[in-house]
Every structure is written in C-alpha cells, then in structure tokens.
Amino acid sequence: MPMQVVLMQDVKGVGKTDEIKEVSEGYARNFLFPKHLAVQALEKNIKEVSERKRKESRESERELQELQGLAGRLDDLELLIKEKASETGVLYASVGPQRLSQELNKRGFKIDKNQIQNLNIKKAGEYSVGVKLSHGLEGQITVRVETL
C-alpha cells in the first residue's frame, strides 16, 4: 500500500531532500523511518518543509544581491602592486593568486586564492584578472604592477 513521505536526506533511487514522494508502506516503515531518511507526509511536516524552502529561497536571493554588489565593486577596483624587478623588467617574484588574495583581503574583500583566475604576472604592466564568485557571477579587477 503506498504512503507519502517527506525525505529528510537524499535517497538514491527515491528523491532529494525535502521532496514529497510516494513509497510502499513497508519500505517507509522498515528502511526510511528507522534510518531517519524520511518522515510521514503529515500536514505539519509538509508545512515545515515549505517554510524551510521559502526561508532558503529568501537567503539565496539576499546572497545573490550581495554578490552582485561585490562583483560591481570588484569591477571598479584597481590594485597597485610594487615589486622588485631585474634590469630587463622581469619581476623577481611573480604576482599570483595568493598575493592578489592577500591584497584584496587587506582592502576588505573576502576573496580566496582559489577564486582568482590562475595567472602569474611576471612583468610590470596592467592586467585584467577575473574573480569567480558563487551563483555563476564573476568580477574583473585591474592589477597594475610597477617596479621598485
């Protein structure tokens, strides 16, 4: 006899977290319920899931707006980095994602080195560097490297 359940975790072959699925009563009582993978789809549980989904949606929307603002601020940003270089203009220490991440963090941006387009700047000049953000957003910072 079929029974409706609300999945509390992803269950392979059944569905994903917070989905309401119809499964056999034996499967629910003998497997899903004892392992806390699902609860019976009572009105109270369904309301709880829909409220949690609404809350997650609002949080995701707020996060997206914050990231769009951050991407805009990054697009307007220009970093000036001064490094020692040889007579031919080649930098003694290349400027890479780690260094750019440190400079951005000093300016109040919480950007990890893994979010920065992997490039190593070895000569003085002006470069456009991509910064990957979540939600598929990306910002472009301008990096100017000058020699000391």
- Over residues 6-32, the mean pLDDT reads 94
Q: Say whether both 125 and 80 belong to one domain.
A: yes
Q: What is the CATH number of the domain that holds 58?
A: 3.40.5.10
Looking at the predicted structure, is the pLDDT value of residue 140 above 80? yes
Please count the other Cβ atoms lying within 10 Å of the Cβ belonging to residue 21.
Answer: 18
**d(Cα 31, Cα 38) in Å, to the nearest integer?**
9
Domain encompassing residue 15: 2-66
Look at residues 11, 42, 66 and tell me which one is the last residue of a structural domain: 66
Q: Which helix (H) or strand (E) holds 141?
A: strand 138-147
Q: Say whether both 46 and 86 belong to one domain.
A: no
Looking at the predicted structure, is the pLDDT value of residue 19 above 80? yes
Q: Say whether both 55 and 96 belong to one domain.
A: no
Tokens of 75: 């697009």
**d(Cα 100, Cα 25) in Å, to the nearest integer?**
57
**d(Cα 86, Cα 75) in Å, to the nearest integer?**
31
Q: Which helix (H) or strand (E) holds 41?
A: none
Q: Say whether both 12 and 62 belong to one domain.
A: yes
Q: Say whether both 129 and 72 belong to one domain.
A: yes
- Over residues 72-96, the mean pLDDT reads 90
Q: Domain count of the chain? A: 2
